[in-house]
Amino acid sequence: MPTGNHAERYHRHQLETPAWKIERQRKLKRRVFETFSMWLRSSGLPPLGPGRKVVDLGSGAGTFVECCREEGIDARGIDISDGINLETDDLPIASDSVDVVTAISVLEHLRSPEKMLSETMRILKPEGAVILVCPNWKYSVKTFFDDPTHVHPYTPGSMRQVLAMYGFEAVEVAPWLVKKPAWMWFLRWRFFVAFRVLPFRGDAPRWIPGFLKGRSSSLLAIGRKARKTDR
């Protein structure tokens, strides 16, 4: 969680709920890891793998970082528990040193993304990528503020704009579909399909066939830092 005492209190409460049991989180983050690798590959970039350097912002209990390290990746998590406020603080990481920065359910908690995105751009290597996941306001309007620490909604259009505003190139935005065929990210009506056509969420009971699962009201975005020679 990115800011202050209110968010810290909410985060501690979350960690006590069944959804945040460590074994469940490990399974979920393994699927996230595999999906991020597919997303990178579909965007024409190397997937997550040995030798890559990853920073996960808003890392929570660190389960995504664990998944990365298990694959031989130099991974680090940064969270409010590390004393870093993503809205105001510099990241304690060298410039031009990171291949991929991830932030899962973070951006919607920030009143302004300026510091986080500027710092992300600074620490990324040329041609490095940022991957963001957050609610899609168009499909989460009725539930967005059920989380009392949500302060800033995004749509696919506003996400494209905000990444471009901070210098990211080749921006792509798609539904947050976990371990689905990559072609679903590029359908013309992909956001409608993800929310209206898939009938069940990904955590539906095991007896429901996998091809019926994955309903999503969130979005997945990627942006790249330009090559050194282009800047």
- Predicted confidence at residue 210, as pLDDT, reads 56
- Predicted confidence at residue 18, as pLDDT, reads 57
Which is more confidently placed, 17 or 28?
28
Region 221-225: mean pLDDT is 98
Query: Which CATH class name applies to 4-230?
Result: alpha beta
CB neighbourhood size of 111 (10 A) = 10
Q: What is the DSSP string of 72-133?
A: T-EEEEE-GGGT--TTTPPPSS-TT-EEEEEEES-GGG-S--HHHHHHHHHHEEEEEEEEEE
The pLDDT tens digits for 78-94 are: 998 899 999 999 999 99
- Predicted confidence at residue 40, as pLDDT, reads 97
Domain range list for the chain:
4-230
Q: What CA–CA distance (Å, rounded) separates 103 from 20? A: 17
The pLDDT tens digits for 101-110 are: 999 999 999 9
Place of tokens 């790249």: 224
pLDDT band at 200 (very low <50, low <70, confident <90, very high): very low
Q: What CA–CA distance (Å, rounded) separates 169 from 203? A: 33
- DSSP E strands in the chain: the ranges are 53-57, 74-78, 98-104, 124-135, 169-175, 218-224
The pLDDT tens digits for 121-167 are: 999 999 999 999 999 999 999 999 999 999 999 999 999 999 999 99
- Predicted confidence at residue 229, as pLDDT, reads 58
